[in-house]
Amino acid sequence: MTVQLTVLGNPGHRRVTLFAAAARAAGLPEPAVLPWLDVLRGRYRLPEGGLLRIESPGEEPEVDRLLRGPVLGPGYAPTRVEGTAAWYAGIMAALRGLAARPGVRLLGDPEEIAVMFDKRRAHALLAGAGVPVPRALGGEVAGWEHLRERLAAAGLRRVFVKPAHGSSASGVMALEFGPRGQLLATTSVELADGRLHNSLRVRRYRSEREVAAIVDGLAPDGLHVEQWIPKASQSGRSADLRVVVVAGRATHAVVRTSGQPMTNLHLGGARGSIEQAREAAGPAWPALVETAEQAAACFPGSPMVGVDVLPTAGWRRALVGEVNAFGDLLPDLTGLPGGPAEGLDTYGAQVAALTVPSPSSPSATDHQITESAR
């Protein structure tokens, strides 16, 4: 029997359309789409039976306005960086409400998504499981003065300051103190009229007054502070890896390089060469990939996670920076050679992990959802 898939997502978004294309290619029916807006407004009906795939609620202005608009008031703009705690609370309330409905089968555990979307909790979980992670400051950060005091006490002079519930490097600041107290903050945050806006242009702030304004503006939503680890390089640029893990196996990896501390592609980062990375790592490459799988194993109820792997200088060892619930949007990237998803994109790999030929069906194009995916 063929099982109907439904995608909780934003209609027309490339995440939804790419997954639908992978389902069709595998011989499955066109997935139904359950709009995030309908769920957040409480006006929706779930298709009977089937499985519900959870997709990112991002990049939909009305979803963002509904979640963050009330807390930002008349100064709301989709580019604002503040209000992430309200965004997080709203998304998690919606997912938990769905999970509580009788008969709903979710592809993805809302409670694991809750951890992945809280960098403080995710870091603590990974560290407790023995996954190598950067040293973190831990605890609450009340604002700039408090952060300065805690960094001095910890002996940390180069750190990343991240909104606990942020994504796509929004609000992230690479902060460093020079030997004579000089201050440099590198971030995509733009200060305008006392408000914080996300920008596609990376800025450098040297004024303590401006840095304090950014930290004080983000602190009420929660901050995660971790040591800035010097990363490996490729072609003279800082490099890290996004590794997609599907059903416990690393299926895809992309090298991200940048001349900035943040390697996100939308901030000027570029895809590097996976072949050069494997050559540079040499015999250490399998361990780098296994580090991603080790991190993913901390989220057994999540059929896919995207792991940010931070190779250290020389590509000999790696730490895990973040684990992403929706880290699979990597268009035109096929699976690692010799791996379980060779020739497939990230969505095709996930569909393949969900489906097997039905032994009772005479047709190889009939599929059933495996019990392990339920």
List, for residues 312-357, the tens digit of each pLDDT value. 999 999 999 999 999 999 999 999 999 999 999 999 999 999 874 4
Residue-wise pLDDT tens digits, 230-246: 999 999 999 999 999 99
pLDDT of residue 181: 82
Q: How many CB atoms neighbour CB 93 within 10 A? A: 12
Query: How high is the pLDDT of residue 366?
Result: 31
| pTM for the whole structure | 0.92
Neighbours of 286 (CB within 10 A): 11
Q: Which residue has the higher pLDDT, 48 or 35?
A: 35
pLDDT at 372 > cutoff 60: no
Residue 368 has pLDDT above 90, yes or no: no
In this prediction, what percent of the chain has a pLDDT beyond 70? 94
Q: Kind of pairing, strands 32-35 and 51-54?
A: unpaired
- Pairing relationship of beta strands 183-192 and 5-9 according to DSSP bridges: unpaired
Burial of 97 (0-12, 13-18, 19+ CB in 10 A): middle
Tens-place pLDDT, residues 177-229: 998 889 999 999 999 988 999 998 999 999 999 999 999 999 999 999 999 99
| Nearest-10 Cα torsion for 342, 15, 350, 367 | -110
pLDDT: which is higher, 85 or 357: 85
Residue 15: the pLDDT is 97
What's residue 2's pLDDT?
A: 66
pLDDT tens per residue, range 107-125: 999 999 999 999 999 999 9
Q: Percent of the chain, pLDDT > 90?
A: 83
pLDDT of residue 263: 86
Is residue 267 scored above 90 in pLDDT? no
C-alpha distances in angstroms, 203 versus 48, 62, 71, 191? 50, 28, 26, 10
Phi/psi of residue 225, nearest 5 degrees: -120, 125
